[in-house]
C-alpha cells in the first residue's frame, strides 16, 4: 500500500531540500527522495567544494606575493592531498547539515531513485532493488543536471576529467587544458593556474565568460593572460589523442590547426537536465531543448507535477533553484507568491578576479530598445581596494536614460560576489539612479565603487 504524503519532492539538491523544508513549515506532510547525496551536486560536487579549493588557491597566490605586503617566507609549499581533503570535509559537513535540517523539520527522506507511476504516484527504488510506493497530490521534480559530454571527449577518470574528477585529482597536473570558459571552466582554470599549473583555456565563442557583459569578459581574459594563462577563443577541439600519462588536443583556431599537449584535460562544456527515467512518458509534461517546460509558478503541463532548478532550464544556479522551490510550494499552499524575474537573479564566478552581474548587459539592453546611460568606476580609484592590494577590476552600471531604471550591473574584482546583492536588492525594489545616489555607502569599503559607478553614469563621479 502506498505511503501517503501531501507533497513529494524528487531530488535533494538546493532546490529540492529547500522546497521540502518550506512545505514542512506550511504544515504539509513531506517526503524527499534522493538517490545519491543530500545537498545535490551544488553542495557535494559543485558550489561549495569548489569554493574551498579556490580559497586554497587564493592563499597560495597570497603566500607567493608576500613581499608586496612587507613579509617574507622561505620554502612556501602546499600538500595537495590536504587541499583536496579539506574541500571534501567542507562538503561533508554541509551535507550533514542538510540532513539535520530535514530531520528537524520532520521531512521523511527516502534513499533511492524516484519515478512517476501515474497521477499522484511515485515509485522509489532503493539501491538494493526494494521498491516503495508514495502517493501525494503534488510532486515536485528537482532532479538537477549533469555535465554535458562531447563525442570524443568523454571523461575517463584519468586523462579527461569532468568537474568531479577535477575536484578530487590524485595528482596535481603540471600542464592542464580546460575546454569551456563558462563559470565552471573559468573557476577550474583559475584554481589550477594559482596552484602552479600551466593552463590553456579553450572557448568556442569569441570571448570567455560569454554570458557576461563583453567588457567583463575582455577584462578577465587580459587578467588571466597577465597571470600566465594561455587563452584561445573562437577555437574548436577537433579531437584528442591519449598517451600513457598525458593527452594532446588538436585545436583549430583562426584558420590554423595546432596541437596542445598536457597532463590532463577538463571538459566544462555545459550541462544537461536529468529528465531520463522519471516516468514522464504518457504525461502532459513537455520538454524543450531537453528541459522541463514550466509556467511562472513552476507548474508543468501535468496537473500536480511541478519542476524547479536545473531540470527546468536556465539560469542554472543553485539560488535560482532554491527560490523556485519556495515559489512552487507556496503556490501549492495557495499563498500566491510573486513570480520570479530571472533578470533579478545574480550570477557569480569565483575565479581570480571574481565576476558578478545582475540584469541586462549593455548589448542586451540596446537590443531590447533601451537608450542607455553607462557608468564605470575602476577599483584603482577605491581606497579600500588599494589598501587591500587588490586594485584590479571595475564596476559597470547600465541605466535607462529616460526612466533612470537600473537595467543591469556588472562587476569584476575583489569580493564582487559578496557585493552584487546590493544591486540585486535595487532591481527587486525597482530603484532608479535617484535612490542609489542618495544611498550612503560606508567608507572605506570597496562597495563605494558601486556608488561611484552610478554617479559616473550621470556625470557626477567624484573620485576618478
3-state secondary structure 276-344: CCCCCCCCCCCEECCEECCCCCCECCCCCEEECHHHHCCCCCHHHHHHHHHHHHHHHCCCCCCCCCHHH
User: What is the rounded CA–CA span in Å between residue 312 and residue 293?
Assistant: 6
- Condensed to tens digits (0 to 9), the pLDDT of residues 2-34 reads 899 999 999 999 999 999 999 999 999 999 999
Q: Which fold has domain 160-269?
A: FAD/NAD(P)-binding domain (3.50.50)
Find the catalytic residue in 100, 319, 336, 443: 443
Q: What is the DSSP letter of 442?
A: P
Annotated catalytic, 443? yes
The closest of 353, 359, 362 to 417, measured between CA atoms, is 353
Q: How confident is the model at residue 167 (pLDDT cuts 50, 70, 90)?
A: very high
- The pLDDT assigned to 97 comes to 94
Q: Which residues share a beta bridge with 356?
A: 348, 411
Please give the grid coordinates belonging to residue 458. 550621470
- CATH number 3.40.50.720 given to 3-147+272-342: no
pLDDT, tens only, 431-454: 999 999 999 999 999 999 999 999
Look at residue 244 and tell me whether its pLDDT is greater than 90: no
Q: What is the pLDDT of residue 11?
A: 97
Topology of the domain covering 353-457: Enolase-like; domain 1 (3.30.390)
User: pLDDT value at position 457?
Assistant: 98
- What is the model's pLDDT at position 195? 97
pLDDT of residue 251: 97
Res 379: pLDDT: 98
Q: Which residues pair with 122 in a beta bridge?
A: 116, 134
- Express each pLDDT in 70-128 by its tens digit: 999 999 999 999 999 999 999 999 999 999 999 999 999 999 999 999 999 999 999 99
**Which residues belong to CATH 3.50.50.60 in the chain?**
3-147+272-342, 160-269
Tell me: the pLDDT tens digits for 37-78?
A: 888 888 888 889 999 999 999 999 999 999 999 999 999 999
pLDDT for the residue numbered 302: 97
pLDDT of 282 reads 86
- H helix or E strand, kind and range, residue 96: helix 80-104
Local structure of 241: helix, strand or coil: strand
Q: What order of strands is seen across the sheet that includes strand 406-413?
A: 347-349, 354-359, 406-413, 394-400, 372-378
What's the rounded Cα separation, in Å, for the pair 319 and 345? 8
Per-residue model confidence (pLDDT) at position 68: 95
**Residue 45 has what pLDDT?**
85
Amino acid at each position: 500500500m502506498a505511503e501517503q504524503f501531501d507533497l513529494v519532492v524528487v531530488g535533494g539538491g538546493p532546490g529540492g531540500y529547500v522546497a521540502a523544508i518550506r512545505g514542512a513549515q506550511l504544515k504539509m506532510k513531506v517526503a524527499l527522495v534522493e538517490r545519491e547525496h543530500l545537498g545535490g551536486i551544488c553542495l557535494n560536487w559543485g558550489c561549495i567544494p569548489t569554493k574551498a579549493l579556490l580559497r586554497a588557491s587564493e592563499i597560495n597566490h597570497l603566500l607567493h606575493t608576500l613581499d608586496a605586503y612587507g613579509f617574507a617566507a622561505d620554502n612556501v609549499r602546499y600538500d595537495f592531498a590536504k587541499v583536496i581533503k579539506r574541500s571534501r570535509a567542507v562538503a561533508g559537513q554541509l551535507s550533514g547539515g542538510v540532513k539535520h535540517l530535514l530531520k528537524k523539520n520532520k521531512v521523511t527522506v527516502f534513499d533511492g531513485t524516484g519515478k512517476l507511476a501515474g497521477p499522484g504516484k511515485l515509485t522509489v527504488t532503493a539501491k538494493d532493488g526494494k521498491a516503495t510506493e508514495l502517493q501525494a497530490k503534488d510532486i515536485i521534480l528537482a532532479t538537477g543536471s549533469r555535465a554535458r559530454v562531447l563525442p570524443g571527449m568523454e571523461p575517463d577518470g584519468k586523462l579527461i576529467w569532468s568537474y568531479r574528477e577535477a575536484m578530487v585529482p590524485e595528482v596535481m597536473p603540471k600542464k592542464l587544458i580546460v575546454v569551456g570558459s563558462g563559470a565552471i571552466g573559468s573557476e577550474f582554470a583559475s584554481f589550477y593556474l594559482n596552484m602552479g599549473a600551466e593552463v590553456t583555456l579553450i572557448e568556442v565563442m569569441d570571448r570567455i565568460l560569454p554570458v557576461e557583459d563583453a567588457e567583463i569578459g575582455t577584462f578577465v581574459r587580459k587578467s588571466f593572460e597577465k597571470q600566465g594563462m594561455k587563452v584561445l577563443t573562437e577555437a574548436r577541439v577537433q579531437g584528442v589523442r591519449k598517451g600513457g600519462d598525458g593527452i594532446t588536443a588538436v585545436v583549430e583556431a583562426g584558420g590554423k590547426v595546432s596541437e596542445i599537449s598536457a597532463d590532463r584535460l577538463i571538459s566544462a562544456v555545459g550541462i544537461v537536465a536529468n529528465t531520463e527515467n522519471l516516468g514522464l512518458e504518457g504525461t502532459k509534461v513537455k520538454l524543450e531543448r531537453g528541459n522541463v517546460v514550466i509556467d511562472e509558478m513552476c507548474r508543468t503541463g501535468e496537473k500536480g507535477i511541478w519542476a524547479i532548478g536545473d531540470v527546468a532550464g536556465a539560469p542554472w544556479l543553485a539560488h535560482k533553484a532554491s527560490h523556485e522551490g519556495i515559489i512552487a510550494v507556496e503556490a501549492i499552499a495557495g499563498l500566491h507568491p510573486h513570480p520570479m524575474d530571472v533578470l533579478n537573479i545574480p550570477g557569480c564566478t569565483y575565479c581570480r578576479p571574481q565576476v558578478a552581474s545582475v540584469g541586462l548587459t549593455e548589448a542586451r539592453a540596446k537590443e531590447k530598445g533601451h537608450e542607455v546611460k553607462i557608468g564605470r568606476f575602476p577599483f584603482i580609484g577605491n581606497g579600500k581596494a588599494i589598501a587591500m592590494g587588490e586594485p584590479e577590476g571595475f564596476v559597470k552600471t547600465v541605466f535607462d536614460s529616460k526612466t533612470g531604471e537600473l537595467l543591469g550591473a556588472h562587476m569584476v574584482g575583489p569580493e564582487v560576489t559578496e557585493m552584487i546583492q546590493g544591486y540585486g536588492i535595487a532591481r527587486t525594489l525597482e530603484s532608479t539612479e535617484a535612490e542609489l545616489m542618495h544611498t550612503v555607502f560606508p567608507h572605506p569599503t570597496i562597495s563605494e565603487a558601486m556608488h561611484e559607478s552610478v554617479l559616473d553614469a550621470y556625470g557626477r563621479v567624484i573620485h576618478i
